[in-house]
Amino acid sequence: MTHAARRRVLPGFGLTMGITVLYLSLVVLIPLATLPATAFTMSWEAFRATISDPRVVASYKLSLGAAFVAAAINAVFGSLVAWTLARYSFPGRRIVDALIDLPFALPTAVAGIVLTTLYAPSGWLGAPLARHGIDVAFTRTGIIVALVFIGLPFVVRTLQPVIEELDPDVEEAATSLGARRMAVLWHVVLPNLLPAWLTGFALAFARAIGEYGSVVFISGNMPMRTEIAPLLIMTKLEQYDYAGATAIALVMLLLSFALLLAINGLQAWTRRRVTG
């Protein structure tokens, strides 16, 4: 059916499109546009001085570095969790499956205080670790722990459906041709999971870069050492340094958009792999 014919029969395109564009503009686009608009009121020198300040650079490095390590940890352990949920049967599987989304459902402030309490030197998990000389709370390790929690569902939920949809005939064919199970996994299964695996990693990484609530409690917030970029934006705002906050935020926003584009590309690749 052609566009014109469809449009004659179904009503409401103009109205719903109008609502969509108006609401999107008022709630999202105009507010977001204030960020580059405010940055353009700064001189280039002031902008560059802000974002090249050693404390700001340290916060970018920390946010990116900790997010990368956390996403890598999730990529490894999240794959095992996704494989377990998709391929093995065990009692309570549905409950475990539902629980995976806890980091989406639990407010980040709650995650922040509970992880801090658990990993503090006197906490359930922190005390035994401290006896072995490992400090978690109020260090960079603590930041990574919080970001692993936040990013966990992204890797599992991206991989799990792809594992479930893998065609068993392909594995069977490889097996019947004499391939050992581990060889089948390595040469047949893993290559098919690669796009989804990278997508999950990128989603967890992107989310972790901007994360605030779960990190501020456990990080200790020491300038140059455990101060993440979103917290530095908050600090600048509390000092009424709007220009400084805007400059730091604009760099993060551009980074997020670059990642969004990369993720869209990865997802298109995943779809081609799964359906093609």
Partner 1 sequence: MSGPLKRGHLTEPAVVRRTIMAIAFVFIALFLVVPLAAVFGEAFAKGWDAYRAAIVEPDALAALRLTLLAAAIAVPLNVVFGVAAGWAIGKFQFPGRHVLMTLIDLPFAVSPVISGLVFVLLFGRRGWLGGWMIDHGMKVVFAVPGIILATIFVSFPFVAREIVPIMEATGTEEEEAARVLGAGGLQMFRRVTLPNIKWGLLYGVILANARAMGEFGAVSVVSGHIRGMTNTLPLHVEILYNEYNAQAAFAVASLLGCLAIVTLILKAVLERRVRARAAVSEHDEPWESKSAA
Binding to partner 1, residues 198-257 (CB under 8 A): 206, 209-213, 217, 230-231, 233-234, 237, 242, 245-246, 249, 252-253, 256-257
Report how many residues bind partner 1 under the rule CB under 8 A: 99
Piece in contact with partner 1 (CB under 8 A), picked from 46-54, 108-116, 133-141, 193-201: 108-116
Task: State the minimum distance, in angstroms, from the CB of residue 137 to partner 1.
Answer: 13
Give the one residue of 64, 77, 130, 135 binding partner 1; rule: CB under 8 A: 77
DSSP the chain: --HHHHHHHS--HHHHHHHHHHHHIIIIIHHHHHHHHHHHTS-HHHHHHHHTSHHHHHHHHHHHHHHHHHHHHHHHHHHHHHHHHHH---TTHHHHHHHTTHHHHS-HHHHHHHHHHHHSTTSTTHHHHHHTT---TTSHHHHHHHHHHHHHHHHHHHHHHHHHHS-HHHHHHHHHTT--HHHHIIIIIHHHHHHHHHHHHHHHHHHHHH--HHHHHHH---TTTT--HHHHHHHHHHTT-HHHHHHHHHHHHHHHHHHHHHHHHHHHHHHHHHH-
Build a one-symbol-per-residue string for 50-69: x at contacts with partner 1 by CB under 8 A, - elsewhere: --------------------
Task: State the minimum distance, in angstroms, from the CB of residue 244 to partner 1.
Answer: 11
CA dihedral 80, 83, 88, 92 (to 10 degrees): 70
Q: Which CB sits closer to partner 1, 94 or 131? A: 94
Site for partner 1 contains 275 (CB under 8 A): yes
Give the one residue of 51, 64, 97, 179 binding partner 1; rule: CB under 8 A: 97
Piece in contact with partner 1 (CB under 8 A), picked from 42-50, 51-59, 144-152, 219-227: 144-152
Site for partner 1 contains 20 (CB under 8 A): yes
Give the one residue of 96, 127, 134, 183 binding partner 1; rule: CB under 8 A: 96
Q: Which CB sits closer to partner 1, 201 or 217? A: 217
Among residues 155, 141, 195, the alpha carbon closest in space to that of 74 is found at 155
Q: Which CB sits closer to partner 1, 57 or 268? A: 268
Task: State the minimum distance, in angstroms, from the CB of residue 133 to partner 1.
Answer: 19
Task: State the minimum distance, in angstroms, from the CB of residue 108 to partner 1.
Answer: 5
- DSSP letter for 166, please: S
Task: State the minimum distance, in angstroms, from the CB of residue 88 to partner 1.
Answer: 6
Site for partner 1 contains 188 (CB under 8 A): no
